[in-house]
Every structure is written in C-alpha cells, then in structure tokens.
Amino acid sequence: MKRKIIGILICTLLIMTALQTLGTINKNVIPNDPYFDKQWHLDNNGQTGGTPDCDIDAPEAWEIETGDPNIVIAIIDSGVDYTHPDLIDNLWINEDEIPDNGIDDDENGYIDDYHGYNFYGNNNSIKDYWGHGTLNAGIAGASTNNNIGVAGVAFNCKLMIVKVFDQVHQLDLLAMLNGFRYAVDNGAKVLSASFGTYKEYIPDDDFQQLEDLADYVYSKGCVVAAAAGNSNTDTPLYPAGFGNVIAVGGTDGNDSRMEYSSTYASNYGDWVDVAAPGYFIYSTAPTYYHTYLDEYGQLNYSQRIGTSFAAPQVAGLAALLLSRDPSLSPDEVKTLICENVDPYYSEYYIGTGRINAYKALEALINQTNNPPEKPSPPSGEINCKTGEEYTYYASTTDPEGDDISYLFDWGNGMTSFIMGPYESGVECNASAIWFEKGDYEVKVQAIDEFGAESEWSDSLLVSMPKIKVKNTPFLTFLDNHPHLFPLIRQILGL
C-alpha cells in the first residue's frame, strides 16, 4: 500500500511539473497562409536575409489576441481591391445600406457606401488603381489562416475603405477632411493614414483645419497611425506630426532605420513616436492592373518599401489592443504601443523603439486582466469508500472570457492540475482516490490563460466511512451465516 501511495505521489508531481513547464512556454500561432514566410515583419527567422527576431512578434501576440470584428480599421488611402480573395471576408459592411441601389438608405449623406466611400471622386467607386491602399489593407487585416496568400496583423477586425486620393499621390484637403470624419462617424476605432504633407506646402487656414480634424478624431476616442514619411528629413510630416496622432517611422530586417537611398529613407526627429518594419513589406495587391505594375509590382500580392507600410502595422496593433479592451483611450493605446518596444539601431531618432505586438498586449493584460470568478464548491459523491475512484465537477466564468485551467485540492495533501483550455463557464472534472478513513475538504481554484488565479472555492466535505475490503468466498460465507461470528470469536480467544 505504501509503495502504491508513493508511486501515485511521484507520478502526480511529474505530471504537475510537466504541465507547469508547458504553461511557461510561449506558444506561437503560425498561420497556414502560403506566403506567410515572405512576411518577415511578422515573423523574422532570417528568411529574407535579415536578423532573426527583428520583427513585431505577431505569432506570439496572436496567442493573446487576433482581433474583434467589432473593431473597425479605416484604410484612408487610394481605395482597396474589395474583390481580393484575401480581403473580401474582412471588409466592413454598412448594414444600413443596400448596395448599388442608388439610394442613401441610411441617410448619412453618402449613396451606396456599402464598404466605404470615395471622397476623392465624391462617389462610391472605392476601387484601388494605384495599389497603395490594397497593400495597406492586407498589412493591417488580411484574412489569416485561410490557406490563401498572406496574414494581417489584426486579422479578425474589419476594414473600412476610405478613398481620399487616386493614382497620383496628391493630398486633397477636402477629401481628407471628409474621409476622416466619415470614418469616425461611421464606427471606425482605428485610422491608418499612409500619406501626408509638409506645413510649408499648405496655407495656414488649411493647416488649421487639418489640426482641428486631428483633434476631432481624438475627441471621438479614435486612434490614428500615420506614416512619418520617406524624405530622410527631420521636418514633421502631417498628419503624423500632430500630437494626437501616432507618427510611425520605418525599420529594416536588421532593426536599422529604413534606408533605400540617400533621398529615400525614413523621416526622423523627436516628433516621431515609434517605428515599425517598412522595408520590402509583402502584402496584398490589386488583382487587376494598377500603377505599381509599372514599377516592380505584381498582381494579387506584392512588396513595397516605405513608412506607408509601417503605419498599418501600428494600426493593426492598436486594433488588437482595443479588441482586448475596447475602453482604452487613444492616449492609453499610444502609451502601450510606444512603451513596449524593441530597440533599433540608428543614429537618427525614429521613436521609442520598433513595435512589439506581444509586449504591448502582455503589458495590457498585466494592467487589466481580472482573475476568474470564485468557483462554486466541487460537486460529487460525499459518502465514499477508501480505495475507490470518485469524480468531481467544477466550473466558473472569466470576466474577459479567457480560457481556464483548474486546480483541485483533495484535502489529503494531494492536488490535481487539470490543464485547459476550458472555455469560460464550461464544466471541468477530475478524479481522486482516498486510501485512509477520515473526512476530507475538497476545493478547487481556477486559473486563466494568463496566470490570474481565482479565490479557492468553498469546500465540499467528503467522508471515508470504511476501508474497502476485497470480497472473498470466506467473507461471503460469513455474511450469509452471521450466527457463526460468536463461535469464531470464542475459538480465536477474542
């Protein structure tokens, strides 16, 4: 009996040690998208000649959060190929608008704005003839783990198409003002803006309108991630240069400042907030002719250089943070992104560091994660026999809906760790055997996927009234002839 108990103890300790070890290993979500390996900015293992881990740690971040469809990212750009197979499932839909009926069904001032609107042409033609907007859309939120193409940073969020320029990258102030307001007023929580202008090129009145617009977006609780520009200058580019906007510089695959030539390199200066990969970023491209084909573009998928393609990564990260906690303010999102970074290597200042999606989400969890609710007392048999196995049940809920594991304490110095994932509210069970008579207080604790522990439940009192004895023919005979007991006691001198 002692050997059996010792064996059970050793096995239990080994199992618990293994499970605890597994719990400390950071699990990565590697999607099945066939071109994922080309996306070094998400997961850099040196596959494109860069330095391993000079990336935004997307697979690690996706273990925590992949995005909430209720969080909408507005791609304020040259339009988007809304027929692209890697984007179509993630497009925002204006549920109050009937497409292509020529009527402003929702009375928001825009006819047939089913996936967004074209403020450059003042119509609902949101097709992308340049390629710039489609690349940005895929970076921020391409459908992921769908066996097609590429992965997006916030791949369960929705993409709103807001077209403010066409093939020629020329800032149209009115289109930009109307586009930003439309995005905010129609439910976008994150705005990705990969364009801008320098203050010297616009009249003071227009610049003031631009600044007022940034303040309006901020007042509505929306986050704007904007490209810092590629002119190798410390002169602020706007809207990135406004304090209420996240200005995004660019890095390469070695975590150096993105630099293609002496005239085409990431802008820099103390007005830049943070950096993200911007060197040969691979993403979705239009499935039809577009301007990028005249350079080194391709149909369906392509790669480009510039802070334009760093900004949507920051937008995607902002969307992941808001998916985890929709109550975050723009300032809180900006702080989480800018304070949880990896270092870059440059004599030029391009922000606090290169973004790390996993670190930002982990920091948010450390700030806001709540433990599971206190479980109810375990349910199961309370009048038991020693040597027999009994099963007990427990469940609880988690405030954030996190997956749960359970720890059962059997009241005899033994515990059982039942590793999840159990969904919030789903019942778990565990079994135990007691070998000695007595009363035992059985209780249970819940632990969420981020290590937050609930209070211990109230105890269930389990009693062992007798030792189980293996049945034999002799004992069966005595049970059937109880009058022989006094005779046997006399013979044995008892």
Tokens, residue 165: 């320029």
Rounded to whole angstroms, what are the CA distances from 27 to 23, 61, 64, 82? 9, 10, 10, 33
Residue 283 appears among annotated catalytic residues: no
User: Of 143, 256, 283, 308, which residue is the catalytic one?
Assistant: 308
Residue pair 276/314 in contact by the 8 Å Cβ criterion: yes
Rounded CA-CA distance 406/396 in Å is 10
Q: Fill in the amino acid letter for 276.
A: A
Beta strands in 285-397 (DSSP E): 301-304, 341-342, 354-355, 383-386, 389-394
User: Of 77, 252, 255, 325, which residue is the catalytic one?
Assistant: 77
Q: What angle do CA 192, 53, 344 make, to 5 degrees?
A: 65
Q: How do strand 415-422 and strand 404-409 relate by DSSP bridges?
A: antiparallel
Rounded CA-CA distance 417/410 in Å is 11
Rounded CA-CA distance 280/287 in Å is 19
Tokens, residue 338: 């800018």
Residue 143 appears among annotated catalytic residues: no
Name residues whose C-beta falls within 8 Å of residue 252's C-beta, 6 or more positions apart in sequence.
50, 258, 259, 277, 278, 279
Helix (H, G, I), strand (E, B) or coil at 390: strand
Helix (H, G, I), strand (E, B) or coil at 367: helix
Residue 477's H or E segment, with its range, is: helix 473-480
Which one-letter DSSP state was computed for residue 474?
H
Residue pair 33/147 in contact by the 8 Å Cβ criterion: yes
User: Of 84, 132, 323, 454, which residue is the catalytic one?
Assistant: 132
Name residues whose C-beta falls within 8 Å of residue 378's C-beta, 6 or more positions apart in sequence.
392, 393, 394, 408, 442, 443, 444, 457, 460
Helix (H, G, I), strand (E, B) or coil at 492: helix
Residue 163's H or E segment, with its range, is: strand 158-163
Residue 405 appears among annotated catalytic residues: no
Which one-letter DSSP state was computed for residue 118?
E
Rounded to whole angstroms, what are the CA distances from 203 to 173, 206, 210, 235, 319? 11, 5, 11, 17, 33
Tokens, residue 71: 């969080």
Task: Tell me which residues are annotated as active site.
Answer: 77, 132, 308
